């Protein structure tokens, strides 16, 4: 019996099956004529035609009319339907699917999600909160906290342990610390460096802005490995260059993440040993995990990509003997 674990997090979806995890990009949708593109394909077109793009349809899942319909989809539920169908297209041989759901959804939204899944033919055998699904290894003697980010917020969840089982505890949403806020802050910081070094503002034009965002993941990765990052963008036959110190970029990330770190310092007691399970997507921002290492009596543990999708498979149905 083939069971698939599907992690629904609009910052980065993930599919676990046959012992492997496949990341499926963010919860973006872009319409090109009659064609809807999702995930990484949508990310690569997101800024070229913003009137044909949607970013918040997963978090805002409902039957309410979108202020800006795209691709024949007038409701957030329509876009979720099409995106879920695309995620399911490569896994139709599965006998069962366990959904690891992102935080923030109401019971009504979860009910709507199940209805959409049924409509696309997905055999959902269970739902589990993504924080609980990702926390599949016990931490004796420590309080477990799970830190994850969606596109528009960071979420800190206490995971209760009892007799080898994990269950959902208290949860807090930290605004202005989602993946989009962190990306935008880093992009604006780098754009200022281009202005300072070459008098070129890549955010002034949609095409150059898209190219900056396309290059951003590589530049951020370089900042985690090197002391200086060389930047270059091609635009209208010219090549513009700049450089940035990795420490300066890490300081930028630390400032962006300060609301999160401030809340962590308030919640995680230095008198109570804790393990902080950190979603892999947050490690893409240089210096963020390093800042977590400075929390007293708290041990950050970086989770593998797709941890919630992999953990959701613990709920796989047991075949009849």
* Tens-digit pLDDT profile for residues 294-320: 899 999 999 999 999 999 998 877 665
Q: Count CB neighbours of 206 within 10 A.
A: 13
Average pLDDT over residues 89-104: 95
Mean pLDDT, range 160-165, rounded to an integer: 76
Spell out a b/e string for 258-283, using b for 16 or more CB atoms within 10 Å of the CB, else e. eebbebbeeebeeeeebbbbbbbbbb
Higher pLDDT: 235 or 139? It is 235
Give 283's contacts (C-beta < 8 A, 6+ positions apart): 289, 302
What does the pLDDT average to over 239-266?
Answer: 95
Q: What is the mean pLDDT of residues 135-154?
A: 91
Q: Please state the rounded mean pLDDT for residues 170-193.
A: 97
High-pLDDT (> 70) share of the chain, %: 98
**Tens-digit pLDDT profile for residues 30-64:** 999 889 999 999 999 999 999 999 999 999 999 99
Determine the Cα–Cα distance for residues 27 and 129; give it in Å rounded to an integer.
Answer: 18
Provide the pLDDT for residue 48: 96
Cβ burial, residue 118 (10 Å; 0-12/13-18/19+): exposed
Chain Cα centroid distance, residue 70: 23
Q: Answer whether residue 175 shows pLDDT above 50.
A: yes
Does the model's pTM come out above 0.85?
yes
Lowest model confidence (mean pLDDT) among 138-142, 156-160, 187-191: 138-142
172 has a pLDDT exceeding 50: yes
Q: What CA–CA distance (Å, rounded) separates 309 from 21?
A: 8
Residue 321's pLDDT band (cuts 50, 70, 90): very low
Q: CA-CA distance, 111 to 101, in Å (whole number)?
A: 12
Alpha helices, H only, 143-230: 179-198, 206-225
Q: What whole-number distance in Å separates Cα of residue 283 and Cα of residue 253?
A: 11
């Amino acid at each position: 019996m083939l069971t698939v674990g599907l992690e629904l997090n609009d910052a980065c979806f993930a599919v676990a099956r046959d012992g492997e995890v496949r990341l499926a990009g963010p919860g973006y949708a872009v319409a090109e004529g009659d064609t809807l593109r999702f995930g990484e394909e949508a990310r690569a077109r997101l800024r070229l035609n913003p009137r044909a793009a949607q970013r918040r349809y997963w978090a805002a899942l409902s039957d309410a009319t979108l202020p800006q319909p795209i691709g024949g989809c007038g409701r957030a539920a329509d876009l979720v339907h099409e995106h879920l169908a695309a995620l399911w297209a490569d896994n139709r041989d599965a006998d069962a699917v366990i959904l690891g759901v992102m935080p923030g959804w109401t019971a009504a939204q979860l009910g709507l999600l199940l209805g959409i899944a049924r409509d696309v033919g997905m055999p959902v055998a269970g739902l589990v909160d993504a924080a609980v699904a990702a926390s599949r290894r016990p931490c004796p003697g420590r309080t477990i906290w799970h830190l994850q980010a969606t596109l528009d917020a960071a979420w800190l969840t206490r995971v209760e342990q009892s007799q080898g089982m994990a269950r959902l505890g208290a949860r807090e949403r930290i605004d202005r610390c989602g993946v989009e806020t962190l990306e935008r802050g880093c992009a604006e910081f780098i754009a200022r460096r281009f202005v300072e070094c070459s008098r070129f503002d890549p955010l002034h034009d949609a095409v150059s802005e898209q190219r900056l965002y396309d290059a951003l993941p590589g530049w951020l990765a370089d900042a985690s490995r090197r002391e200086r990052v060389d930047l270059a963008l091609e635009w209208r036959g010219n090549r513009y260059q700049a450089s940035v110190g990795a420490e300066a970029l890490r300081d930028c990330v630390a400032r962006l993440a300060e609301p999160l770190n401030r809340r962590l310092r308030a919640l995680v007691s230095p008198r109570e040993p804790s393990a902080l399970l950190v979603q892999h997507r947050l490690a893409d921002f240089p210096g963020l995990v390093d800042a977590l290492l400075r929390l007293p009596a708290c041990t950050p543990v970086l989770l593998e990509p797709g941890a919630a999708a992999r953990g959701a498979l613990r709920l796989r149905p047991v075949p009849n003997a």
